[in-house]
Amino acid sequence: MDLFLFLPDGDGKDRSAEFQSLEQEAEGWGVRLFCCAAVHEVETWLLAGHRDHLEGRRWQDVRDDVSIKENVFIPFLARYGNSKAPGKGRDLLMAKTLSGYGSLLQLCPELAELERRVREILG
């Protein structure tokens, strides 16, 4: 079975109706598509594994920041990433986040819902 994931930034908008329409259209073509928007940007998911480096910010405040990329992620990446590595070290930072996968799902419930949906279809 081919499975496609569409994981865009949420940008403070509820796109659930658009996503449902996209998924239904894809299903009509025989394609399994799951859409899941990050709240509010995908960089939030990486930051979930690095809460100890968020300089005293509460996690909920981080998640609620519609401009999280500019306000939190870019300064975080400048400090904890690797400016000489491809992607400035995002891969290593994300690997640390994924090492605490259960915590990631708790902190980012949209990902937990995506996993539930995928598991349901895979049996």
The whole-number average pLDDT for the span 67-91 is 95
Number of domain units in the chain: 1
Model pTM? Answer: 0.90
Give the residue, 52 or 122, on which the prediction is more confident. 52
Concatenating the DSSP letter of every residue in 31-81 gives -EEEE--BSS-THHHHHGGGGGGSTT--HHHHHH-TTHIIIIIHHHHHHHS
Confidence band for 97, pLDDT divided at 50, 70 and 90: very high
The domain in which residue 13 lies consists of 3-122
